[in-house]
A and B are shown apart, each in its own frame.
Chain A
């Protein structure tokens, strides 16, 4: 009975959880509501993933309406891993939030904070679950609006500015997206993905379609911080509360990437050329720029949170690069990196968050020798850093391995070399952190660091451990990613010439 409604429950659970948390107006109660709701969501997502892996795509019609008129939720091999990832990261971030909010959020707002986290989760999960282009826009807005709030709740005054900037940029992105959806509706007369794909071959004038593609892709690119539309991200991540940063960095951009993959592969066709250049080539160029320019920028940051944020832009470059390579190994690499990067960056932001809470700073030059006083947090940060480089034995290696494999299979040796070369930049920025936190004599702040409560460390360590685990035994994530890749590429062949 419940199993049949899982596709919608996975969205409704956090949504109503958020509502309850808001009504409770009580910090402690809000936390427990958030925890229960997020764990229930995770269970639902896991059950969905299990069903999809066993029995193929699940279609759920809201209110029983036909997809042509109503809204269809569609969970398949592509969206199932995303749902699982977002739900899991939601649990981790909420567990982490319990202690971090006491330091970072004004007490009266803590309940709202949990509300916003849950609603953000609902929006993100909705984007992944829905098979309706306009419904996705609604969820996009839900997640965005809650995200603005989450960022703005940061104690630093610059958080307000960052949130404001993200608000403007996010709104532009959403507007572009909805214009694109409108154009798509004009040409096909439907908002349902499945029906759009069915009707595309009948369209005589591709002009409107190309315009729709441009609007939608640029709109999503803003959300996923594709270079050079990434400028909102560093400040937003740097000044948001630690648990919000961990949540956003590991889920928000990832869902946007998922959406991009959906549109590019299932709807528009990745190899389609717009004028003289194909979408894939343009995406590849921007991805490479992101990998190098953002990594370079990361090297020169002093605030570790900002450094990690720039690194996120670069790592998103790897993911979109995998999509642009557009063969099975490449897309598998992209989806693997979506998951692996979420885990490692979640661990990294949680670790630096713990350090920020204990030592009162996330500035590199003030954290000399913090590894001696906070070995556990610094150790988690180290594991995450090594994974960012792609050291074998960490999950980062596995995803880069598939990307390199994809590049070589596509006959682009130079691309494989560039992927490895950009890792050198990661060595530099991670190396800087490691050198300062482990090898320098402890600075004043490091010596005065408070003990970190277990509830901060536990989720951090779980993510770090998963980063190692999936580096050693990559079977589970690879299975998820490769079935996602197969599903995307399978659809892609039939979509457009």
Chain B
């Protein structure tokens, strides 16, 4: 029994569920299956015994499809909860494709968490890219989905290249700690960082997630980036380069979140920022810091799902997601409003929310390590986070401005999903021991101490005063700010246009020279270069010539 369980990855119920959903028509059976799959996965997360499963032979490789320890269970629990709540939230979304894709996506993330070797990890990693692309695609934005897919193909290639190189090392495919030094480990790190939303490709998060459907974004916010954090904890704990990268992400994301108008884009930037916090902690690398990063990932999944649900509910009810076009929703949508406030406060680490617990763990780990720069910067970013998540977002969406006359009613399932997630956030906030049970090393941090709560309250109230004073400056405006995606969305076109123009100019300049040169040397040189590529338009004689030349060359070399 135990052996059979040991070989059961918690990913399987989700993947099977994904396929099963496709087999059934929309209806009660399909709904039940979709809800059951994440719950079965959650059960397996805790039933699979700790340790590594019996190896599987494939292509002469030793694979360990399932390996469990507290870290895998922590992420597995978070992924299963996010999937379950997400499915509940999306219960009346009429898209079987999105539902199947989301379950596949969740299953792949789960597989990553429980992978016992690099090859298995990579397979689930790619499956995750496919699942998430389909989720984006189900929202109807095919161009954005394509960009998203290309970005993940790029990341996947980096990862795979790195994998190929490190697999040749003595450690083989075993999961182990790497130092970013050799080309293999650099490639691996780069591939993971693409998924984590690190610079210079951070913009894919805010490009793709807001274009998913009102329910799709909930799934998207939970898995990819956190799975990347998980893999970093496994493979690159204490990698110093992660600290500056994480700091940059935290600040970059804060800047964009503060000026963003689209709620879901703001939340997407916020994902990058919070992953930045986690990266800093992974870069510090002490046992306590790693556990804090994991705990923060867990909590982040809870509150970011909640916020994305609230945003999705607003989009569904009003058909609008821009802050500048919203306002006064608190009375019309009380549950959503409460969810948004709880989520925002949790994100901003207001005491007695889950975010406070995990962020305190991270800050305590930084303080223990005497990482002064990181500590001061992240404390400042924390204050800034409250500006947008705790104040700007709820104020302009829920309080300020004219409320719409009517909003579409929300189904019970959506409200229920939000209430459940909000309850999780508050439960951990009031009882930090719940989180410490998942991530034992952070148990030592005394979170709810007087000086600590006071510290955070001062930070928040001070930021609140700043918000009150500068309210008009922070009013949402419809604008587009250049982001990293300019690099791949605008630059190529600009360069290409420039090149074409430059070529024309050069042609005008060189044409007379070239003409004389051509008649002088004969036409063969440039033609050959083109021919070599454009085969098929070779003259038969040229082919014969090439063959003869090759033969002659071989004979000549042999004769020497």
Contacts and interface: CB of A to CB of B under 8 A. Distances in A.
Given A231-B542, A297-B533, A173 B59 contact: no
Contacts of A172: 544, 547
A310 interface: yes
A217 interface: yes
Interface in A213-258: 213-215, 217-218, 221-222, 228-235, 238
Interface string A407-421: 011000100110011
Contacts of A297: 533-535
A365 B544 CA distance: 33
Contacts of B558: 207, 210-211, 213-214, 274-275
Contact of A168 (B143, B165, B532, B544): B544
Interface in B132-163: 142-143, 145-146, 150, 153, 157, 160-161
Q: Is the interface of B mostly helix, strand, loop or mixed?
A: helix
Interface string B514-539: 00000000000000000111111010
A439 interface: yes
Contact of A165 (B534, B543, B560): B543
Contacts of B543: 165, 168-169, 229, 231-232
A416 B165 contact: yes
A478 B157 CA distance: 24
A392 interface: yes
Interface stretch (B285-293, B463-471, B548-556): B548-556
A43 interface: no
A393 interface: yes
A391 interface: yes
A404 interface: yes
A474 interface: yes
B533 A293 contact: yes
B153 A176 contact: no
Given A391-B126, A435-B146, A478-B59, A310 B540 contact: no
A233 B122 CA distance: 36
A260 interface: no
Given A231-B543, A416-B164, A293 B551 contact: no
B168 interface: yes
Contacts of A293: 532-533
A420 B557 contact: no
Contacts of B555: 210-211, 214
Contacts of B54: none
Contacts of A431: 150, 153
Interface in A172-229: 172-173, 176, 207, 210-211, 213-215, 217-218, 221-222, 228-229
B382 to A, nearest CB: 40
Interface residues of B, number: 40
A306 interface: yes
B546 A229 contact: yes
Interface residues of A, number: 63
B123 interface: yes
A168 B547 contact: no
A282 B533 CA distance: 20
A416 B184 CA distance: 11
Given A231-B536, A439-B142, A420 B550 contact: no
A197 to B, nearest CB: 20
A361 interface: no
Nearest to A238: B536
B557 A218 contact: no
Contacts of B167: 408
A36 to B, nearest CB: 36
Of all A-B residue pairs in the complex, the 9 with the closest CB atoms, nearest first, are A234-B536, A231-B538, A214-B554, A275-B557, A231-B535, A408-B168, A210-B558, A218-B551, A297-B533
Interface of B: 58-59, 122-123, 126, 142-143, 145-146, 150, 153, 157, 160-161, 164-165, 167-168, 183, 531-536, 538, 540, 542-544, 546-547, 550-551, 554-555, 557-560
30 contacts: A165-B540, A173-B547, A210-B555, A214-B551, A214-B558, A218-B554, A221-B550, A228-B550, A229-B543, A229-B547, A231-B536, A231-B543, A234-B535, A235-B536, A275-B557, A276-B557, A276-B560, A296-B533, A297-B533, A297-B534, A393-B126, A404-B164, A408-B168, A413-B168, A416-B168, A417-B161, A417-B183, A420-B157, A423-B157, A474-B59
Given A214-B551, A275-B558, 11 more contacts: A213-B554, A221-B550, A229-B550, A231-B542, A233-B535, A275-B557, A297-B534, A417-B183, A420-B161, A439-B142, A474-B59
